[in-house]
Amino acid sequence: MLYQVTMELRHIRYFVAAAEELNISRASRRLNVSQPAMSRLIHDLEEELAAVLFVRERFGLRLTPAGKKFLEYANQIIDLHNEAVRVVRNISGSGDSLDIGFVRLSISSFLGAALRKFREANPGIAVKIYELDLADQVRALRRKQIDVALFDNPRDLELDEFDKTVLFELPLVAVIPETHPLVGRQEVSLTELAKDDFIGFSEERFPGRTQAIVNACWVAAGFKPDMHYKANSLDEVLAMVGSGAGVCLLPTDVSGMPHSGVSFIALQEKVEPIKFIAVWRHNVNRLIINSLLEHIKLQSS
């Protein structure tokens, strides 16, 4: 029996995103598409395969045995596509390129200036940047979709398959609503926030970041914060704090970014700073990497 194949690469990408997130809402946000479009393409894919790939449950998705097997092939297809694009570009002599992933929470306050200086020093290199959370950056590195990842590493993630270096460290500051009684202070003790609800981060999207907040409060002030909510992005954190839903601890450079309804206050206690790192694949041109790292460090100092 012959089957008419209508499957496209976007069907594969949508399926992989849904399989990794196990949640249509998160997968659609990750790909910047609407939930109906995501659901429709997955439905079309299941129709073509004549197989159910997901079990729809109350709080998300669960892969079926067929879905798990298809995910193995889907990842191979994406990896092969990415490798083919890279090899053909090299053969065509289109010049060196550098694809960079970054977490907006981490270094966006000075990344633009660093990249301008890098481009001036390396005019022949085509640079593309992608705003991705930590989990997506690691996936993109493994799939050869990006060359370099820039993010904070609050729990010293195991990334032995890549080269990496610490770029710099930044202290944490308290982020509180503008209606909070402590607004206007130059410094605040963590103990003064012990009774507040805290806003944390999704462990899936930002591994280790919530635990870094918990550790800071416990080591410096002897309490474990009540994590009232775990956000999926920096915008969500700032919106929740601005609405009065709780407080948070963030790297100090975030205070230089646009925000509304929140106040940033230095901590009195000495809290372990957040390490910001660069991670790259072994086969990336080391001279290009060194130049990029040099410009980032100069702009962050």
What are the pLDDT tens digits along the chain (301 aa)?
Answer: 444 557 888 899 999 999 988 989 888 888 888 999 999 999 999 999 999 999 998 878 999 999 999 999 998 898 888 778 767 766 655 557 889 998 865 555 678 888 889 988 888 888 888 888 888 888 889 888 899 999 887 666 677 889 999 888 888 999 999 999 999 999 999 999 999 999 999 887 788 889 889 999 999 999 999 898 898 888 889 999 999 999 999 988 787 766 789 999 999 998 888 888 899 988 888 888 999 999 888 877 6
- DSSP secondary structure letters along 97-148: EEEEEE-HHHHHHHHHHHHHHHHHH-TT-EEEEEE--HHHHHHHHHTTS-SE
pLDDT tens-digit series, residues 56-68:
988 789 999 999 9
pLDDT of residue 154: 61
- Reported pTM: 0.66
Fold for 172-272, please state it: D-Maltodextrin-Binding Protein; domain 2 (3.40.190)
Does the 9-89 domain belong in CATH 1.10.240.10? Answer: no
Same CATH topology for 95-167+275-300 and 172-272: the answer is yes
CATH of domain 95-167+275-300: 3.40.190.10
Segments in the chain forming alpha helices (H): 9-21, 24-31, 35-49, 65-91, 104-121, 134-142, 209-221, 234-242, 286-300
Burial (CB count within 10 angstroms: exposed 0-12, middle 13-18, buried 19+), residue 200: buried
pLDDT tens-digit series, residues 68-105:
999 999 988 988 887 787 677 666 555 578 899 988 65
Total count of residues recorded for the chain: 301
Give the start-to-end residue ranges of the domains of the chain.
9-89, 95-167+275-300, 172-272
